[in-house]
Structure 1
Amino acid sequence: MLKIDNVSLKYGAFTALNRVSLRADQGELIVLLGANGAGKSTLFLAISGVHPIAEGKILYQGEDIAKWKSPRIVKEGLVHCPEGRKLFPGMSVYKNLQLGGYVHKKDKKGVEEQIEEVFELFPILKEKQHQMAGSLSGGQQQMVAIGRALVSRPKVLLLDEPSLGLAPLVVKQMFEVIQRINAQGTTVLLAEQNAYSALKICHRAYVMERGNVILEGDKESLLHNEDIKKAYLGA
């Protein structure tokens, strides 16, 4: 469904991604592990059409989308939920969710139905739909960010560090929701530093370091990999 084929990306003389290759098949939940600066967010920005790549292919449903503009990418069902949430804090929860449906604005009924589905997934957001997004807790703001992405109708959802800065109980709830989204048929590519929680729910994972993919495998092989344990699981 999504295949990254030898993608490189440069900022001037600096190589941020070095011939990265990975894939996410229909219905999979794929995890990208790596420390800050490993290239996870840069890869998501490349897939989303924000940063142009220097070489390689980004294949989505068999078509190279490397030169597509971001609105087209979103409209075709490849949706990015960025690190840091990027909400509009002075706008209501409802208005933030509505913005997720911007590329489908001609289908007002469909957007409203998607928002109702978000409220079913996150009931607290229905209660707080008229509050300013900036007044919510960190966990609730992350729910809004994920909800906004879901209103865009993703076939593939790129989630960048959704657990960052959240309390352990909220992290547990967040990963349960991500698993539920995946179980409903959405392919998920999840970038995370919370390696243990992420590996527990994924099908396969890739480990990135300094813009390179250095390791890949299914969750069992990576959970029992000694190098992964030492680097990410505190063993």
Structure 2
Amino acid sequence: MLTFNDVSLDYGSFRALHGINLRADEGELVVLLGANGAGKSSIFRAASALTRASAGRIRLKDVDLVGKRPAEVVRAGVIHCPEGRKLFPALSVLKNLMLGAYPHRRDRAGNRTRLDDVFGLFPDLVKRKDDPAGALSGGQQQMVAIGRALMSRPRVLLLDEPSLGLAPLVVKQTFEVIQRINRAGTTVLLAEQNAHAALKIAHRAYVVESGRIVLEGDYDSLAGNEAVRRAYVGG
């Protein structure tokens, strides 16, 4: 579904990604593990065209994403749920969610159905739909961020550190929802520092260090691996 072939990315004179090769097959849940600053978010920025890759190819099935504008990538079906949620705090929960539906704004019936699906995943948001997003707890704000991404009807959902700053119980609930989204047919690429929790739900994982893929495997091959330990503790 989504492939990176020898992708590099630069921020000015700094090379953040070095020849990245990875794939997320249709229906897979693939995890990127790595410490803060390892390059996980840069992989997502390259995929969503927020930063243009300096070299290599990024493809969504047969569509070449390199050189496209971010809005074109969204319309193609690659939806980026960023680290830090990036909500509009003064707008209501409902308005934040509906902003995700903007690419499909003419399909009112489809958007109503999609909104019902989001509220089904996150029933806590129903009673808070008219509240400002900034008044919600961290866990509820993450629900809104994921829900907004789902309103864009992703073929591939990029989730960047969804567990960051959340209480353990909320992390568990968030990962359960991610599994439900994936089992419903959405391909998910998940960037996480919480290696233990992420590996439990992933089909496959890549370990990212200093802008390079250093390891690939499933839970059995990666659990307890020294490179994974470094990615988890950041050392």
Question: Fold match, TM over 0.5?
Answer: yes
CA 1:230–1:15: 2 relative to 1, 3 Å: closer
Give the TM-score normalised by structure 2: 0.97
Question: In structure 2, what is the equivalent of residue 30 of structure 1?
Answer: 30
Aligned partners of 2:50, 2:230: CA distance in 1, in Å? Answer: 34
Q: Which structure 2 residues correspond to residues 87-166 of structure 1 after superposition, within 5 A? A: 87-166=87-166
CA 1:230–1:69: 2 relative to 1, 3 Å: closer
Aligned partners of 1:147, 1:140: CA distance in 2, in Å? Answer: 10
Instruction: Please report how far the alpha carbon of residue 79 of structure 1 lies from its aligned counterpart in structure 2 after TM superposition.
Output: 0.5
Moved over 3 A (4+): none
Paired amino acid for 1:89 = P
Deviation per residue, 1:41-66 (Å, 9 max, x gap): 11101100110111000011122111
Paired amino acid for 1:199 = L
The reply on whether 1:62 has 2:62 as its aligned counterpart is yes
Q: Which structure 2 residues correspond to residues 36-55 of structure 1 after superposition, within 5 A? A: 36-55=36-55
Instruction: Please report how far the alpha carbon of residue 168 of structure 1 lies from its aligned counterpart in structure 2 after TM superposition.
Output: 0.3
Paired amino acid for 2:210 = R
Question: In structure 1, what is the equivalent of residue 78 of structure 2?
Answer: 78
Instruction: Please report how far the alpha carbon of residue 231 of structure 1 lies from its aligned counterpart in structure 2 after TM superposition.
Output: 4.8
Aligned partners of 1:231, 1:92: CA distance in 2, in Å? Answer: 37
Is residue 207–residue 231 contact of structure 2 (8 Å, CA) maintained in 1? no
CA 1:97–1:123: 2 relative to 1, 3 Å: same
Instruction: Please report how far the alpha carbon of residue 224 of structure 1 lies from its aligned counterpart in structure 2 after TM superposition.
Output: 3.6
Instruction: Please report how far the alpha carbon of residue 27 of structure 1 lies from its aligned counterpart in structure 2 after TM superposition.
Output: 0.5
SS of the equivalent of 1:127 reads: coil
Paired amino acid for 2:95 = K
CA 1:230–1:39: 2 relative to 1, 3 Å: closer
Aligned partners of 2:230, 2:135: CA distance in 1, in Å? Answer: 38
Moved more, 109-118 or 19-28: 109-118
Question: In structure 2, what is the equivalent of residue 20 of structure 1?
Answer: 20
Give the TM-score normalised by structure 1: 0.97
Paired amino acid for 1:44 = F
SS of the equivalent of 2:96 reads: helix
**CA RMSD, aligned part only?**
1.3
The reply on whether 1:200 has 2:218 as its aligned counterpart is no
Aligned partners of 1:9, 1:226: CA distance in 2, in Å? Answer: 27
- Identify unmatched segments of 5+ residues in structure 2: none
Is residue 142–residue 162 contact of structure 1 (8 Å, CA) maintained in 2? yes
- Identify unmatched segments of 5+ residues in structure 1: none
Aligned partners of 1:227, 1:82: CA distance in 2, in Å? Answer: 25
Question: In structure 1, what is the equivalent of residue 189 of structure 2?
Answer: 189
